[in-house]
A and B are shown apart, each in its own frame.
Chain A
């Protein structure tokens, strides 16, 4: 199985809860038929609690399919495998969590035509991940994608490097936690402890993808908060070989995979893949002096005053309906105004080329 840089895969979550939903995802442009994680005895690990966090985040309990493997295999998997064959895409079921369970399920799935397997470690005891992966790989011939989240430790990139002989690809991170979700209106009915996915975890995912891609040669799949082509491009630059999407698909429907893939084409994925690693894998020159200062692109400024609000160094003055003025001397070059400007009207320039910016409209 080969990962094309344009491949947008469904994450093995509630977005692909059964064969029908997984086939919908493929029709929506997903590059493979992925199925929600199954296990032998789902029990409490199938907890369907899912609550929005902000505009584009989600709180959940890392749930697997509520259908036990023995029931799921002859029904959902059989239908999914047929749908994948009909659509000409790989069929990738996801299995969890304990060693004896993934070995049992993995053998049957590989024999029944799964093209690859995701080993979902969400509820696997951390020390068991390596042995379970090794056992699985010893018994199945198909590629195994290892899905790892940081609740197993902050050393995920090193874990990937250690397990590289056994895994064929890594998917990082899917979710972050544990976290706590409270409902002030009804504290006793609060969701409680669980995990966070979606946009809030994207900077966390990107650090792990970048760090892992620097350490391992096998493909790293970026999984966490990606919802646009630009965000997928960012992940590819950081070294990802493909992206996985769950939260955006849950909130926006199965067409999101195809939209991300289509938008990504504009970025020339083959060219940008690993670009940030090539440029900054060994680090950039760190500047602790004030070398630059923001410069205004007057035509882009909408005089919203936000740059003055976020300037805590008394360098920017931006009265309503007036172009901002910046004093280079107190400016700390913190960068907050440049990143916060809603229209990109501020850019950094060498300090000696900009003594005073400003004017009035």
Chain B
């Protein structure tokens, strides 16, 4: 059996597949189910200074494995996370021998305030979400968190026009890893039967995730991985074990999944991990480390460009 455990930033992930921030890890109980379902590590839903006021409805299926959402961040209070949800999630992580990553946002003040409170709970790393493309602003956010906590910090980037590698290179001195990418939007679908919005946001706008996003996510992972030395976590549209392999080939060192878990259930982590191991066995690899960057390196030689 090929080795699929991943050692990253001083943490050992049992498999290369962990949750992405979303309703799949919206409570301590869901985190526990993710651990029981075979996640390689845990990552909790994004917290911020205030609870999110989410428009209802905020999720809609698109195609077989795509989704539009207007999820924002956790609708639970920071206090509830600190007093209850992190405790349950961290207990599950320890029980299953998994690293635990917290997710937070958004302003430098938010991160200075929340970072130390969450770190004190005993989390192993912190992912922070960046919605901006202005490098100066983004660096301010990263530095605010860097100066507030000691655990590794991961910048989760949002897709935008141009080369995401530029932004990542500017951020690299201030962070320990990158996560690519957030959902893409805004996008819009409506119910044509009644010409009515499907989502409850102002114009019915949402953000796209799931399989339609995968080619964009792969490009972002590739753009960042070719510019930086620090690890890149791939997120966006993973459905099958082969998708996990593709992200590794593009330069990822770990992947996060949310949408497919919403459609297949928390037990799907184990199936994906088994599929990755089987794929490696079938193709003659003894470890997932051996496929990392396989595309990235040859594309660098070829001088890939559109």
Contact = CB atoms under 8 A, between A and B. Distances in A.
Tier of interface size on chain B: 35 or more
B61 interface: yes
Nearest to A232: B192
B304 interface: yes
A207 B212 CA distance: 15
Pick from B30, B197, B295 the residue with the most CB of A within 10 Å: B295
Interface in A196-244: 196, 199-204, 206-207, 210, 230-231, 233-234, 237-238
Interface string B183-194: 011111110100
A193 interface: yes
B99 interface: no
A71 interface: no
A267 B195 CA distance: 11
Interface in A309-346: 309-310, 312-313, 332-336, 338-340
A172 B262 CA distance: 31
Determine the main DSSP class of A at the interface with B: mixed
Contacts of A179: 215-216, 218-219
Contact of B56 (A237, A275, A292, A339): A292
Interface in B265-304: 265, 279, 294-295, 298-299, 302, 304
A180 B23 contact: no
A54 interface: yes
Contacts of B186: 207
Contact of A193 (B61, B195, B206, B305): B305
Nearest to B248: A184
Nearest to B75: A332
A182 interface: yes
Nearest to B163: A178
Interface stretch (B63-71, B88-96, B110-118, B167-175): B63-71
A312 to B, nearest CB: 4
B197 A284 contact: yes
Contacts of B201: 286
Nearest to B161: A153
A15 B241 CA distance: 33
A335 B57 contact: yes
B202 A286 contact: yes
A206 B188 contact: yes
Interface string B1-41: 00000000000000000000001101000100000000000
Most buried by A among B202, B211, B306: B306
B250 A182 contact: yes
B198 interface: yes
Interface residues of A, number: 68
A180 B250 contact: yes
Contacts of A332: 23, 56, 75
A143 interface: no
A99 interface: no
B138 interface: no
A27 interface: no
A312 B24 contact: yes
A188 B304 CA distance: 11
Interface centre among A180, A231, A237 (most CB of B within 10 A): A180
A74 interface: no
B134 to A, nearest CB: 14
Contact of A310 (B55, B75, B199, B263): B263
20 contacts: A55-B64, A151-B161, A153-B161, A177-B219, A180-B215, A180-B221, A184-B242, A184-B249, A187-B249, A203-B188, A203-B212, A207-B188, A207-B205, A234-B189, A234-B192, A279-B196, A283-B202, A287-B56, A312-B262, A339-B57
5 cross-chain pairs, A with B, having the tightest CB-CB distances, nearest first: A335-B57, A179-B215, A200-B212, A203-B187, A180-B219
